[in-house]
Amino acid sequence: MKNDPSIEIKEDEIICKCFQVTESTIRSHISKKNIAQVEGVTSICEAGGNCGSCHMLIQLFIDQNKHQKLLESIPESKISKSKNKKGSFWKNLLSNA
């Protein structure tokens, strides 16, 4: 028996079983055409055009694409590392003691 560390190879998973459309194909169409609705994906590559069980994943890819584009549009200097503008809770607590 081999003792090699397991190597996980990510395959391009088929998301739409009805039309055998893979994740990379769907993501690529969403990104290139900036698709905002599942119907947009369906019109380009048929994914989601039958039973609809893949709609949730297609919508997830659309949402992730939107989020990614939004992040790319924000200048690095505008991205705060901390959501709390007042500083750390513990730092404030200890400095006021």
18 binding ligand FES? (CB under 6 A): yes
Helix 38-45 and helix 55-73: axis angle, to 10°? 110
Using the minimum distance from each CB to ligand FES, give the nearer residue, 19 or 65: 19
The binder of ligand FES chosen from 51, 63, 68, 91 (CB under 6 A): 51
Give the strand pairing for 14-16 and 21-22. Answer: antiparallel
The binder of ligand FES chosen from 29, 48, 61, 62 (CB under 6 A): 48
Question: How many Cα atoms within 13 Å fall on the side-chain side of residue 22?
Answer: 7
The binder of ligand FES chosen from 26, 35, 41, 54 (CB under 6 A): 54
- Under rule CB under 6 A, how many of the chain's residues touch ligand FES? 11
Sign of the torsion angle spanned by Cα atoms 27, 32, 37, 41: negative
41 binding ligand FES? (CB under 6 A): no
Token pair, residue 26, equals 């769907």
User: Which residues sit at the interface with ligand FES, rule CB under 6 A?
Assistant: 16-18, 47-54
